[in-house]
Chain A
Amino acid sequence: MKFAIESISKNSGRLGQLRIKDGGPDFKTPLLLQTTKGGSIPWLSADVFESHVSQKPQVLQFTLSTMDHMTEALTHWNSGGGRGLSDYVGLPGHLNILMLRDPCETTPSGGNDRDILPLFTRRGKESLSSERYMEMVASFKPDFYEGLCDADTNLESAKKRIQKSVDRTEKFMHYIYEHRGKVNSTLLAPIVGGYNTFARTQSIKHAREQPAGSYGGYIFEGFHTNGLSATTLDTSKLLPIVEHCVKQLEEDKPRLMPGAYTPLTILELIRQGIDMFDSSYAYCASLNFKALTFSFVQDAVEHAPFLDITDEAIKEDFTPPLSNCSCLTCQKHTRAYLHHLYKTNELLGPILLIVHNLHHYMAFFEKIRESVARDELPRLTEFVRNQNGKTQVDYSIAANTKVISKAAMGKGFAAAAV
């Protein structure tokens, strides 16, 4: 892995170039990782993703909590030679990073016993020891992998829980640093410690103590518990602690912050020097029937952050979800149709939504890189903040709890009997 910083600016963060494999594609940072579920882009077949979202190589974010049951199969697959983890999930040519927790769903708290890490999967709670984890990494053979860490903290965590997360992570990592030579993947050193500067410093210190070349980058954990919790973070609490941490990191290593941070939070984190994020925000919006409509191209019109697909008002709105959008969904389908797919609980609904939301979010990241390169990130941030309105736009995502009302269904198919 090679990571080269092209520019650093006090106001616009860092522009970098990441080459994960020799001869492989270069990725520009700030980079958006493609989050996956069970190895697939959420709701999308490889064919649909590559035909309608992007043909460029991506870095796929795999999570053990949705893929742990594939370990045995991957051992077989990877012994075949010439093919790897991305090929197994139908996405050859893309690179990947293996993480523990699914950033799309809320990770349950608790279960932090002894020397094991709880892994919450659809099949229940699994217990990961450091040994077992390294065996799984050896089976998966990812390009990057996250160091085993206790990330069960958030803004509300007590000091004791935070300290425990740091201590337990240190213990796990002790083993992993010692045995990392058994796998060929690049390690990302986990930085934990909630919102406590002392604990964060301790966690960073443990990573920095390792011999040079022990790991290829950093991954920040423990600011939220994934899912929608990341969309509602208080940035006035988050940013100072991130700033505190970033100062202590080696500059030449990429920094990843997984989770569904809002577009505005991402811009602020990039300014702090974070390099990599994931697409779980686009997933969370789609799951909760929101089409992303925020604008990042400066104009004079006021924009809403989302279009709420559940809104009855769009039942007969035959315009695209977002005008001027070039994605398949906006080119070929209408708000009314998406609303219908929501009402009928049809699988095509989330498919069309995530096609649009990923398209939009990836274009947003293009714009970010352009702005960083021109040292214009503050301008973009201000625009994204207010969307030409008078106040700051609310980008948080609330769970869709609307129940599809049967009474609201038409009776047009038949007349009342006389």
Chain B
Amino acid sequence: MGPSQIPPLTYKVVAECSVSKARAGLMTLRHSEVSTPVFMPVGTQGTLKGILPDQLIELNCQILLGNTYHLGLRPGIETLKKAGGLHKFMGWPRAILTDSGGFQMVSLLQLAEIDEHGVNFRSPFDNSQCMLTPEHSIQIQNAIGADIMMQLDDVVKTTTTGPRVEEAMERTIRWVDRCIEAHARDDDQSLFPIVQGGLDVPLRQRCVSALMERQVRGFAVGGLSGGESKHDFWRMVDVCTGYLPKDKPRYLMGVGFAADLVVCVALGIDMFDCVFPTRTARFGCALVDSGQLNLKQPKYKVDMEPIDKDCECSTCKRYTRSYLHHIATNESVSCSLLSIHNVAYQLRLMRGMREAIQRDEFPQFVADFMARHFKAEPVPAWIREALSAVNIQLPADPERTDDQEQKPKTEKRRETADVAEEQVASS
């Protein structure tokens, strides 16, 4: 059988948690096998900040995310076509997933207007009026050649209410048909539709059932992780995974904080992406089970321990917190060192969950993780509720002590505009 006869994506569930909705799977793509649940590091412009493809392979990273909006600008479709696609252009032999570019339009370009035709915006470079249609998005994604591509969806702010939410959901369904129609490489690339519907349960349900009527190989859950309450967040995820078919992978877009990953795996999500691990590295922060260490803090000046004694990444094998403290945000190598560790952290967390699901010990894994993550602090109510919804009961919180160390302060960091992602001091 020639490669074109094998579907470009096959997915099989390898193990299911007997308590929650968590599952471990194996997704086979043209460029790589991907064990799920998986975290996909974001390589926005055809590179993961300061990390060599060889280093990612060493970390056993199987799939990367690329941003269609950025890649369409630079190097541009023509160059990508001539290079033979993004894999060859960037020297990455394994799998790639691309977004549709729509989210960047809306988040980066204040002047974007959406109508039935597509996303209308002013070019940030020459101020000319441009239009991104579902067809254009697919055309670029076909040129990029990622293993998995996303439909263009109508993104509204998570906190939007009223008829606009329903309009966006309905339009997203109409646009998926235009995307499927425009998709020219279905033998090599799999197009995922995106579940929209805001924070409205019936809308989400309608969206899922409409998308399930289409011939697709996996689904994305979109429109979350954008400032809604955590209570709404987990309920929407739970609703979507409740209706999505079991035999196809489910991708929750833009989620990557450790606790969110653990909860959403319990709710039945298979794929995640987030810029957070590499972005926070540039601010001198290293991820650990208890949150993150801000290595710029004076207390690390003479701390001769590695970031994490149990971490096997090349940074933890060689470098102390003390040395990293002195070079963080000063020397650009610190960005590479912390990014390696942070990506290694995310991948290790996912591997831990996969193995726990395969041993059918996932609920215990969740309990242990939450104990390490929140230490003496109480586990947030939304996490207890979410886990309880999938039959995982966490033990009662320990007695409160005054230990305030390493409180996760990730939320603050998220204000940084996506544009900042590109601005790496190279000196």
Query: Which A residues have a C-beta under 8 Å from some C-beta of B?
Result: 37-48, 51-52, 66-67, 69-70, 72-73, 76-77, 80, 88-90, 122, 287, 315-316, 318, 328, 332-334, 336-337, 340-341, 343-352, 406-407, 409-418
Cβ B83 vs Cβ A318 within 8 A:
yes
Cβ A48 vs Cβ B129 within 8 A:
no
Interface centre among A89, A351, A412, A418 (most CB of B within 10 A): A412
Contact of A89 among B78, B304, B323 (CB under 8 A): B323
Cβ B52 vs Cβ A48 within 8 A:
yes
Interface centre among A37, A347, A352, A406 (most CB of B within 10 A): A347
Q: Which residues of B contact A414 (CB under 8 A)?
A: 72, 121, 130-133, 136
Complex: how many Å from CA A46 to CA B90? 23
Cβ B319 vs Cβ A332 within 8 A:
no
Q: Which residues of B contact A47 (CB under 8 A)?
A: 55, 314-315, 318, 340
**With A38-B330, A406-B125, A411-B123 as contacts: A351 and B72 at CB distance below 8 Å:** no
Complex: how many Å from CA A145 to CA B75? 47
Cβ A337 vs Cβ B89 within 8 A:
yes
From residue B416, how far is it (CB to closest CB) to chain A in Å? 16
Contact of A341 among B47, B125, B131, B325 (CB under 8 A): B47
Binary A-proximity of B301-331 (CB < 8 A = 1, otherwise 0):
1101000000000110011101101110011
Interface centre among B327, B330, B427 (most CB of A within 10 A): B327
Q: Which residues of A contact B131 (CB under 8 A)?
A: 414-418
Interface residue count for B (Cβ, 8 Å)? 69
Q: Which residues of A contact B314 (CB under 8 A)?
A: 45-47
Contact of A73 among B47, B132, B323 (CB under 8 A): B323
Cβ B91 vs Cβ A337 within 8 A:
yes
Of the listed stretches B252-260, B348-356, B374-382, B418-426, chain A binds B418-426
From residue A134, how far is it (CB to closest CB) to chain B in Å? 22
Cβ A48 vs Cβ B91 within 8 A:
no
**With A340-B75, A348-B50 as contacts: A413 and B68 at CB distance below 8 Å:** yes
From residue B128, how far is it (CB to closest CB) to chain A in Å? 6
Complex: how many Å from CA A318 to CA B322? 42
Complex: how many Å from CA A411 to CA B72? 7
A-B contact pairs, 18 of them (CB 8 A): A40-B333, A70-B323, A73-B325, A76-B302, A316-B78, A316-B79, A333-B91, A334-B83, A336-B79, A345-B423, A346-B46, A346-B47, A348-B51, A413-B69, A413-B76, A413-B132, A414-B72, A414-B130
Whether, in the assembled complex, B74 has its beta carbon less than 8 Å from a beta carbon of chain A, the answer is: yes
Cβ A416 vs Cβ B128 within 8 A:
yes
Whether, in the assembled complex, B126 has its beta carbon less than 8 Å from a beta carbon of chain A, the answer is: yes
Cβ B330 vs Cβ A328 within 8 A:
no
**With A45-B340, A76-B304 as contacts: A351 and B326 at CB distance below 8 Å:** no
